Amino acid sequence: MGASKSKSKHETFHHVELNEDIVKLATEIFKEMDEDGSDTVTKIEAIKYWATNYAKINADEFFNTVDLNNDDSITFEEWIDFWREVKSKGHSDDEILEEVSLSNLSCKD
Ligand SMILES: [Ca+2]
């Protein structure tokens, strides 16, 4: 310790408990994004999905936020960690769920 100069911005939020409805919904969204079922969402898959379903967000910027280790793919762990982080910033379960549901529903057509 001490020698490493590259201080990762990656912080884990495993201590944050997510409501099981959120986990369920986040899991569904992850599966939808993961088109080839590889258990990781590539940048191409993610941006394609978000550009279609989340018109309001900057897909590229959002991807970089969720891709904590910057390897151009999102694992389920990173995805869930992202939601934990959102919660740790003071959003309630209901707020998050509403946000995720709305985004999810808006693509059903
Ligand atoms: Ca990653």
pLDDT band for 43, please (50, 70, 90 cuts). very high
Whether 73 and 67 have beta carbons less than 8 Å apart is answered as: yes
In a domain, 5, yes or no: no
CA–CA gap between residue 50 and residue 43 (Å, rounded):
10
- Encoded tokens for 23: 């986990």
The tally of domains found in the chain comes to: 1
39 C-alpha to center of ligand 1: Å? 11
43 C-alpha to center of ligand 1: Å? 9
In a domain, 14, yes or no: no
In a domain, 72, yes or no: yes
In a domain, 4, yes or no: no
Is pTM, for the whole model, over 0.85? no
CATH number for position 75: 1.10.238.10
One-letter amino acid for residue 20 of the chain: E
83 C-alpha to center of ligand 1: Å? 15
- Protein residues within 5 Å, CB atom, of ion ligand 1: 67, 69, 71, 73
CA–CA gap between residue 17 and residue 6 (Å, rounded):
29
**E-assigned strands of the chain?**
40-42, 73-75
Is the pLDDT reported for residue 65 higher than 80? yes
CA–CA gap between residue 50 and residue 35 (Å, rounded):
13
| pLDDT at residue 32 in the model | 93
Instruction: Please give the residue range of the domain that contains residue 76.
Output: 20-105
81 C-alpha to center of ligand 1: Å? 11
